Amino acid sequence: MRKKAKKEEQRQIGIIPNVEISDAGLMIETLITETLRTNYMPYAMSVIISRAIPEIDGFKPSHRKLLYTMYLMGLLTGARTKSANVVGQTMKLNPHGDAPIYETMVRLSRGNETLLHAYVDSKGNFGKSYSRDMAYAASRYTEVKLAPISNQLFSDIKKGTVEFVDNYDGSMKEPRLLPVTFPSILVNSNLGIAVGMASSICSFNLAEVCQTEVALLKNPNHDILSTLKGPDFPGGGYLVYDENALREVYETGRGSLKIRSKYEYDPKTHRIEITEIPPTTTVEAIMDKIIDLVKQGKIKEISDIRDETDIKGLRLAIEVKRGTDADFLMRKLFKMTPLEDSFSCNFTVLIDGMPRQLGVKDLLMEWSRFRRDCVKRRTAFDLKINEDRLHILLGLKTILVDIDKAIKIVRETESEKEVVPNLMIGFGIDEIQAEYIAEIKLRHLNREYILQRIEEIENLRKKIKDLKDLLADEKKIDRVIMLEQGEVAKQYAQPRRTQILYDVDDSDIPLEAPEKDYPVNVFFTHEGYFKKITPQSLRMGSDQRLKEGDRIDFSCEANNSSRLLFYTNKGQVYLSKCSQFDDTKASAIGDYVSVKLGMDDGEVATHCIVTDDMKGNILLFYSNGKVANIPMSSYETKSNRKKLTNSANEKQELVAALYAHEAKEFAIFSDSGRMLLVNSALVPEKQLRSSQGITVMKLKKGAQVTDVKPKEDLKLNEVSKFRAKTFPAAGGIIKLLDM
């Protein structure tokens, strides 16, 4: 019992007992939590720190390794080289395969148009960020070099501005960060998905970012919204201005911003051209959604759509029907398609190796701290170089007193090793100074040369004093950073691509245009075809063209705004409007309702009801003599659903579906030659659309109801024998004298 209890306890706490399994070795007891801690957590941290999340310099490790490799290859200047060469060299720093390296290069290139300021100057086909189907060429066909702005990524990198670490095999050094001279973390977008966290940083205009950085250095309480107006995306478009949403992003680093496509309309050709789209979608995704809406009948104004993107740029052409309000159509498309999309911001950045979510202001403050450190490192490097130079020149100044003595010491010293020590003793200088003097060429051992060198001493002393003052005063360092921002903005700033739309309120825009209401005549045939004809057109030609073997089962006068209910052979009802069907002529066959409304396979419309106000009742007459009285209000929906399931008895044939705006009599006919007059007010009302109704006409075995007509459409000589006071009733036998 104790052993069983122990095993049960082990199972509950996650311990696997030691078990010897054939050909598998020994299974060791371990806690599941311990396994997660030792195996999963290191992997998760590796993805967060070393792969997916950008650091304060604006780069992920894969970006940094690629760009630094190109820098080492001398691609800041000179001609382009094949992309394959760069990919191969980058594998010395990034051992994750050539395909991911090349894909990283593609996204950094000018040709792909992913970045607002591309770091890679490219030649060849690099695909397009706004197209999922436009693939980039292989690395052996394309050529690259570093773009001019990349000079700002490696500024003073040889002066110890950043820390260098070993690569993966210890064969070379690479920078842990790049000493960027502007806040690249905000200038170019960066997306990444790690384990348990993600990063999504939108791009901002370079000039605005530099201006905001300068303003924050001058005044930490600066309102950044006054200088940083909003994101600026490489694909352009319009930012739908929402001050609350922008402030949320600026303060917390999270939020959602709406980006709208840019379009132009030519009324002469009835053509809308989309030239700029949100960064979160593609041309293909937009086309797929629009085509789907057209097929569903939700968009009827579009006659054709084409992708006409070429080397000149993106262009999506939409042909619209005559009389279409293009602006209203575009507002509908903004609501229903990715032509207007949201960019979700998540400003998660690695700060000192730890992931942190920062607002824009905090991010700029962290970048300022990083840049101050770079400037201090550079200043300390320059200070050391100048101090060493001054020290050497002071030694050179010492021998100026007696140049002949220095020459005599060198000439009379028998061993080369003794030259430096003898100079040190002879002039009272240290080893570094003596080494420099010993290396001076004989032709330079003259008074003129030495005096020229000594003239540098005062300049060096002044420079050293300035460098020390700079290191001791953070305000002076901030002024250096401000000057750098001004130079970068002046040299690389571009006009804003994403324009800002103020005071936009589309919350009350209906998804459907206001209907033009006018009288129409509607016709529904036995085969399921529907026609909508204006009275004027009907007067010009009233001979109805029908499919061979077809007949008109229902017709009435209505309005273009009238609602339509189509009952099908599968017990379902489809809601529609007359306005959703095009005006036609009597000489046309009409629209096949099953296709027009996208019915299920094998489903056919069998009955049609027309109403203007969704009031009154619908009476469903079944072949077994039952009648269901359903109020029209049961078919109203809060949403715009067009299909209502379980709206009729599918097991019994629906002989007729008739509309009664108020109580009226109907004549029910059976195949046994009987007729029964029924007042709709006597049939109990049922709220459920799926109600099977009550038995109204009593039928003989094998008999069925064959037809139903309104009494007002019949001329009856004697009606009393056909009426019934109670149900079910058999009705009366029809004779020639009765009709």
Find the catalytic residue in 141, 436, 502, 635. Answer: 141
CA distance 139 to 136: 9
Q: State the pLDDT confidence band at 18, using cuts at 50, 70 and 90.
A: low
φ/ψ (deg, to 5) at 335? -75, -30
CA–CA gap between residue 503 and residue 674 (Å, rounded): 70
Question: Any idea which residue has 């490799």 for tokens?
Answer: 69
- Indicate yes or no: pTM above 0.75: no
141 is a catalytic site residue: yes
Q: Above 90 in pLDDT, residue 239?
A: yes
Does the structure show a pLDDT above 60 at 6? no
Say yes or no to pLDDT of 510 above 80.
no
Residues 251, 133: Cα–Cα separation, whole Å: 37
Q: What is the pLDDT of residue 325?
A: 87
Helix axes 419-427, 360-399, angle to 10 degrees: 80
Q: Say if residue 507's pLDDT is above 60.
A: no
Segment 562-579 mean pLDDT: 89
Q: Which helix (H) or strand (E) holds 302?
A: strand 302-307
Q: Which domains occur in the chain, in start order?
A: 53-200 (3.90.199.10), 258-343 (3.30.1360.40), 367-492 (1.10.268.10), 519-738 (2.120.10.90)
Task: Please tell me the predicted confidence (pLDDT) of residue 14.
Answer: 46
Q: Nearest-CA neighbor of 226 among 94, 360, 408?
A: 360
Residue type, 653: E
pLDDT at 229: 95
Indicate the average pLDDT of the chain. 88
Q: How far is CA 80 from the centre of its chain?
A: 33
Please indicate whether residue 106 or residue 8 has the higher confidence score (pLDDT). Answer: 106
Tens-place pLDDT, residues 66-92: 999 999 999 999 899 999 999 999 999
Give the model's confidence band at 508: pLDDT under 50 very low, under 70 low, under 90 confident, else very high. low
With b for 16 or more beta-carbon neighbours within 10 A and e for fewer, the 302-313 pattern comes to beebebebeeee
Residues making up the chain, counted from first to last: 739
Q: Poorest-confidence range of 4-13, 192-201, 248-257, 705-714?
A: 4-13
C-alpha 112/C-alpha 129 separation (Å) is 6
Strand partners for 678: 666
Q: What's the pLDDT band for 15 if we cut at 50, 70, 90?
A: very low
Is a pLDDT exceeding 90 seen at residue 714?
Answer: no
Nearby residues of 581 by Cβ (< 8 Å), 6 or more positions away: 530, 532, 591, 596
Q: Most confidently modeled of 176-180, 196-200, 265-269, 429-433? A: 176-180
The residue behind tokens 């002044």 is 462
pLDDT in tens, 623-657: 888 888 888 888 887 666 678 887 887 788 888 98
Q: What confidence score (pLDDT) does residue 181 get?
A: 96
Please give the average per-residue pLDDT across 711-735, as a whole number.
Answer: 79
